[in-house]
Amino acid sequence: MALLYVNTTMVNVALPDLGSSIHAGNRALQWIVSSYTLGFLAALLPGGLLGDSIGHRRLLLIGVCLFGVGAAVPLFSPTVIGLLVGRAVMGLGASVFTPMSLALIPWLVQAPYRARATAIWSAAGSLGAPLGPILGGLAIDNWGWKAMFAIDFVGALALVMVLAACIPPDPMRPVRRAAPAPQILLSTAGFILITAGLINSPGGYMATTSGVAALIVCLVVDSRTQSPLADLSLLRNHHFRTSAMGLMVVNLVLFGVLFIVPGFIQSVLGHSAVAGGLMLLPMAAATGLGSFAAARASKHPQSAQLALPSGLVLIGIGMGIAATKVVSGAAPIMAGLTLLGLGQGLSQSFALAHAMDQVDEEAHGTAAALINTIHQIGSMLGIAILGSLLGNRYTRAVTSQSTHLPEFIVKQINTGIGVAKATAPQFPGLRDQIDATANTAYVTAMDSVLALCSVTVIVSALLLFTTAMGRTSPSRVRLMATSRSRAAKKLELRRKIRSAAIDLFTARGYAETTVEEVAAAADVSPMTVYRHFGTKESLVLSVAKTSDVDVLLAAVSEGHVLDAASLTDAMVAHIASNPVEQLYQRVVLITSTPELGEALWTRTTTWTDALAPHMPATTSLARRAEARSLVAVGLEGLLAWPATSTQPDVRLLKQCLTESFQVWLTGSQPPEA
């Protein structure tokens, strides 16, 4: 993640040097930046399907390799075409290794430490973002823009070697699933055509219209196929939809501004790339502060609803401050960028968390892919729309101010400010006039774009604020009802998976059946099976998810006996709701499969020992605790295991199981084994 964010922010400080070195105009620079986003968008949604097909570890390594190969292309082909191809390949690689690195955390990190690992994963990006401009600035000032891609290439090469050595093979066998090729091709074509039309505006209406048509066809095809590319039904949820739209607006402004501002800092003000990178640090720090404020606001439901519109208001005010014609100073820009960072951290952190809170756990992967896609669409539109507005306004300003310059020089200036700065030294007598014309035109154009950003963002904030006030937070009763509904859906899904597993294990044998075959029979992905049960043996033994078990263990270890008892009773309710015939099938499987029998005995012993020091002294609770130990003591407490050295009697197990349930729920004397 650090490598990804370093690259994303590093390229912005390289734009002025790129423009002058390879004589790239504003449109060429837009394509160079946008090609990365287009590559990212092309593979982001199908990346999850591909990970299931070839394995998450393998796809992670492929993604990092692609990123490195893409970084190497401009080193050997330092042209606009080489940069376009290289950046697009880098985007493809980043779009798959980003989600795959997150997907591997559950397999590499034990449950109690997963939240910490995820936080470190996220923090790596936050660390890389401010390092990018500084590292890129140092490299560019000393060795030129190629050094930026050399850093990416070396970083990817080192990362591949570390990942290949440290990450074990995928814990599950890949499942071959048909990729939705028509939707992938249509969506990619749509994004490319829209970007081309916006960058080439005002003459790109045909491309833009064709791109929109391609996306509409993609949506129609996707809604009628058995293998959809995206679950667009998530957008029916008001809170998910508004969060996604808010994120798109934030990214539109952020990436558009980051495309524009380096040209002002380096080309107009004359600062070095390092200084330009350092000037972006206050924005990065403000982003962290805004994220912290969003985390605090999330604890207060009423305040949390205002976090997104408040963040947008801050961005709008910042863009208004930055919209200045003062050519000689950077203070307004830095103040505006700081408010942009603060608003981005506040709104983006809240919107992401709020959107994911609206969907069930089983849909988190799909929801994350969809919201990230919408997020990246904002990036693409920001670079294309705001970059085009800047270019058009810049051209008009140059034309109106250069009446005393030769026409061929005016054409050079119109290409872009980087080309203008490279052209000026060739004409010493006109150098000051060329510089002044380009500087004034660029500031005039930037001023117009930032003012438009300010108005757009504040209007969006007002719309979101009105919506938030019109839709008050649900009452506690509604929240509880929603919670019960989600719990019921999860329970039903677990029953469906377990039923398919037990039927297959009974018909074909436990050892002969794979988790992937269970997933296919239950019509879910293998990832969903592992998320709910953790291991293959838990399909037979387990009654609770690993996270539920961790909570119960924590309650026991901290001496919160009543909490542990309450959690355990909830687990038992799940057990008791299983069909008796299925329970009998599970008993048969356990008694006929040594691997399962040993696992159950080990788990029962471990949990009994863990709970023993905390057993209540009262007779009623003590009896219930003893009954809990008979049914595998809360761990999933599934079966009572008789204390015999001979092969267990299946009928005795079934009888003991039934009676233990009764004891557990009534608190009466447990049966003798």
- On whether residue 185 sits in a domain, the answer given is no
Return d(Cα 84, Cα 73) in angstroms, integer: 9
Given 452, 473, 494, the domain boundary residue is 473
Contact 344, 250 (CB under 8 A): yes
Tell me which of 434, 455, 473 is where a domain ends.
473
> Do 443 and 492 belong together in one domain?
no
Residues 430 and 574 in one domain: no
Do 163 and 151 share a structural domain?
yes
Give start and end residues of each alpha helix (H) in 22-55: 26-54
Coil, helix or strand at residue 405: coil
Taking the complete model, does pTM exceed 0.95, yes or no? no
For the chain, percent helix, then strand, then coil, each to nearest 5?
Answer: 80, 0, 20
d(CA 651, CA 639): 13
| 222 within 8 A of 69, measured Cβ to Cβ | no
Tokens of 306: 């205002």
Q: Are residues 451 and 557 in the same domain?
A: no
Are residues 87 and 61 part of one domain?
yes
Q: Is residue 182 part of a domain?
A: no
Q: What is the CATH number of the domain that holds 54?
A: 1.20.1250.20
Is residue 373 one of the residues assigned to a domain? no
- Structure tokens that stand for 640 in this block: 């009572």
Same domain, residue pair 155 and 287: no
User: Does 219 map to a domain?
Assistant: no
Q: Check whether residue 277 and residue 394 sit in a common domain.
A: yes
pLDDT at 464: 79
Q: What is the pLDDT of residue 332?
A: 85
Domain ends where: 138, 153, 170?
170
The answer to whether position 218 is within a domain reads no
In this prediction, residue 603 carries a pLDDT of 59
Domain that holds residue 105: 1-170
- Report pLDDT for 441: 86
Ordered mean pLDDT values, 10 residues apiece, the chain (673 residues):
69 73 74 78 68 71 88 86 88 77 63 54 57 74 82 87 78 55 79 74 71 84 71 76 86 83 80 75 79 69 71 89 67 87 81 70 61 78 81 83 76 74 77 82 87 89 72 40 53 81 86 84 77 74 51 55 52 52 67 70 56 47 45 37 39 50 45 41
Count, residues in the chain: 673
Evaluate whether residue 198 is within a structural domain.
no
Looking at the structure, tell me whether residues 503 and 542 fall in a common domain. yes
162 in the same domain as 310: no
Other residues' Cβ atoms within 10 Å of the Cβ of residue 268? 22
Shared domain check, 483 and 445: no
Say how far apart CA 16 and CA 32 lie, in whole Å: 12
Supply the CATH number for residue 518's domain. 1.10.357
Inside any domain, residue 622:
yes
Which tokens in the block code for residue 11? 């390229």
Q: Please check whether residues 487 and 465 belong to one and the same domain.
A: no
Number of domains, the chain: 3
User: 485 and 437 in one domain?
Assistant: no
Tokens (6 digits) for 189? 């074509």
In a domain, 376, yes or no: no
